[in-house]
């Protein structure tokens, strides 16, 4: 929604907006664009009688602002519908969908198109370091959008991505998620098939050939040419072969023919797939693989995706958005393959997403966290499952805390030079990163 607000401002509209607990980097982006932020969901923000209210999917019936909106008969629309009508209907849309990697893949794709001189517009659920913003109009024909399967609004329960009508579609992967709105994987597959139904026969769908859930989606019917992706498997249309243990160097092939190799700053097999998807999608609109590889080599990453927030006395602190067991496991693996064998990983997790909070991923968390040397879990009263009991298999490596201050105190007391503190949350986590760095500095200064 913050990105949509930025796009509306760029189109010349006067824009204001409301949310609860807005935090950087989105809050700073909005303020710098001259967008007034209103804290909370009271009805006062509607006093100016806006010409249009764009309603995000966090809004529910019963909130004062929503009740006032409906009572007054003011015009409103969902974010995805507004985006589709105001921008996407006039552009060639390249959409990135899937359970994991959407933000990084969309950022990579936008960067590749930008470096190819195509000046794409984009809307991304994070802040790419190369652009320093999550959305821009662009002057070119192409628009890259991160396509989310979450529902659209309280009045439109379709997945957001059905509004976008892409011509080029990346399906990164598919697992069960969003337990608050989906009962099982089959329900999510149905929504993905609704998206597949919107892709024209002159478009293209790219997907990993070994993903059983996505193969199940396409088996329901597909009217669009497809191209397959794989890791070190030349039977796929596009394949990527790691040349370094941590994935920081790789070779690209297209239908068995080597296209080139590159060294870049990202790590982990999950990021290799993200790069492969972006390169293959860019090729569909005429960007050569070598052009794409050159751009990948200069890719600066995305904030809150293995973002190093600081280092104190040899202790590194990272911020990562991982909030699904698969993403947690691959993030830890990527870091493990980058550091020395004698360095320890302290995995700090906030189970904040609705699915995490409700316990939808609880059973899979032990395996996801198993390769960390120490595991610290934030378990506030709102957590609907017992983290200490569920993760007891981790034994002495596990520490569960009901306050962020407890986590910080433990880390300050138990970390040493060479340790890697990996903090994972899809929220602000009470600014734990900066608070930890500040207290580490004070501790080691004395």
**Rounded Cα distance, 9 and 31, in Å:** 12
**351 and 408 together in one domain:** yes
**16 and 126 together in one domain:** no
Contact 268, 337 (CB under 8 A): yes
CATH code assigned at 21: 3.40.50.720
Amino acid 138: pLDDT = 95
Amino acid 68: pLDDT = 96
Q: Give 17-53 pLDDT, tens digit per residue.
A: 998 877 777 788 888 899 988 889 999 989 888 999 9
**279 and 345 together in one domain:** no
**Full domain range(s) for residue 26:** 2-78
Amino acid 287: pLDDT = 98
CATH code assigned at 399: 3.90.190.20
Among residues 17, 48, 78, which one ends one of the domains? 78
Q: pTM for the complete prediction? A: 0.84
CATH code assigned at 193: 3.40.1190.10
**316 and 213 together in one domain:** no
Among residues 232, 264, 297, which one ends one of the domains? 297
Q: Give 166-189 pLDDT, tens digit per residue.
A: 999 999 999 888 778 888 899 999
**248 and 126 together in one domain:** yes
Amino acid 268: pLDDT = 83
**321 and 276 together in one domain:** no
Q: Give 272-290 pLDDT, tens digit per residue.
A: 999 999 999 999 999 999 9
Instruction: With a cut of 90, say whether residue 260 has pLDDT above it.
Output: yes
Residue 203 lies in a domain: yes
**291 and 320 together in one domain:** no
**Burial tier of 423 (Cβ tally within 10 Å: 0-12, 13-18, 19+):** buried
Q: Give 88-119 pLDDT, tens digit per residue.
A: 999 999 999 999 889 999 999 999 999 999 99
**141 and 221 together in one domain:** yes
**Rounded Cα distance, 199 and 164, in Å:** 10
Residue 369 lies in a domain: yes
**271 and 364 together in one domain:** no
Amino acid 323: pLDDT = 74
Quote the mean pLDDT of the chain: 92
Q: Give 215-251 pLDDT, tens digit per residue.
A: 999 999 999 999 999 999 999 999 999 998 888 899 9
Percent of all residues in the chain with a pLDDT value above 70, rounded to a whole number: 100
Q: Residue 128 — pLDDT band, cuts 50, 70, 90?
A: very high
- For residue 56, what is the DSSP state? P
How many distinct structural domains can be found in the chain?
3
**289 and 169 together in one domain:** yes
Among residues 297, 330, 362, which one ends one of the domains? 297
Compute, in degrees rounded to 10, the torsion defined by CA atoms 399, 402, 404, 407.
Answer: -20
Residue 302 lies in a domain: no
Amino acid 412: pLDDT = 95
Q: Give 357-397 pLDDT, tens digit per residue.
A: 877 778 888 888 999 999 999 999 988 889 999 899 999 99
Amino acid 352: pLDDT = 86
**207 and 254 together in one domain:** yes
Amino acid 327: pLDDT = 84
Half-sphere exposure (CA, 13 Å, Cβ side) for 166?
31
Nearest to 273 by CA among 124, 114, 101: 101
**152 and 281 together in one domain:** yes
């Amino acid at each position: 929604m913050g990105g949509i607000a930025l796009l509306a401002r760029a189109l010349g509209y006067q824009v204001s907006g409301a949310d609860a607990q807005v935090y950087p980097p989105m809050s700073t982006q909005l303020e710098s664009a001259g967008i007034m932020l209103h804290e909370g969901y009271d009805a006062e923000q509607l006093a100016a009688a806006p010409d249009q209210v764009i309603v995000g999917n966090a809004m529910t019936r019963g909130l004062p602002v929503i009740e006032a909106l409906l009572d007054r008969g003011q015009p409103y629309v969902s974010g995805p519908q507004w985006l589709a009508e105001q921008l996407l209907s006039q552009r060639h849309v390249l959409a990135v969908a899937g359970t994991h990697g959407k933000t990084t893949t969309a950022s990579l794709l936008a960067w590749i198109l930008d470096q190819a001189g195509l000046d794409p517009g984009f809307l991304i659920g994070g802040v790419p370091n190369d652009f320093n913003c999550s959305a821009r109009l662009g002057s070119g024909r192409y628009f890259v959008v991160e396509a989310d399967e979450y529902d659209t609004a309280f009045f439109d329960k379709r997945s957001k991505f059905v509004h976008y009508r892409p011509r080029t579609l990346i399906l990164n992967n598919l697992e069960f998620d969003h337990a608050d709105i989906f009962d099982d994987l089959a329900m999510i597959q149905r929504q993905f098939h609704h998206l597949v139904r919107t892709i024209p026969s002159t478009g293209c769908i790219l997907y990993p050939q070994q993903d059983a859930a996505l193969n199940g989606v396409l088996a329901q019917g597909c009217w669009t040419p497809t191209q397959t992706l794989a890791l070190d498997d030349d039977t796929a249309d596009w394949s990527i072969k790691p040349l370094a243990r941590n994935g920081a160097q790789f070779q690209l092939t297209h239908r068995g023919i080597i296209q080139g190799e590159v060294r870049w700053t990202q790590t982990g097999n999950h990021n290799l797939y993200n790069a492969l998807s972006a390169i293959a999608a860019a090729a569909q609109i005429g960007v050569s693989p070598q052009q794409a590889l050159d751009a990948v080599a200069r890719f600066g990453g995305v904030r809150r995706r293995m973002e190093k927030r600081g280092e104190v006395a040899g202790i590194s602190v990272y911020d990562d958005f991982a909030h699904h067991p698969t993403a947690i496991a691959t993030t830890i693996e990527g870091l493990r393959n980058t550091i020395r064998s004698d360095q320890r990983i302290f995995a700090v997790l906030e189970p904040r997403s609705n699915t995490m909070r409700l316990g939808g991923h609880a059973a899979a968390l032990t395996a996801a966290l198993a390769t960390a040397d120490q595991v610290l879990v934030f378990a506030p009263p709102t957590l609907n499952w017992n983290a200490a009991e569920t993760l007891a298999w981790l034994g002495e490596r596990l520490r569960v805390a009901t306050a962020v201050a407890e986590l910080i105190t433990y880390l300050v007391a138990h970390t040493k030079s060479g340790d890697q503190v990996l903090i994972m949350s899809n929220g602000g986590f009470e600014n734990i990163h900066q608070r930890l760095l500040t207290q580490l500095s004070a501790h080691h200064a004395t």
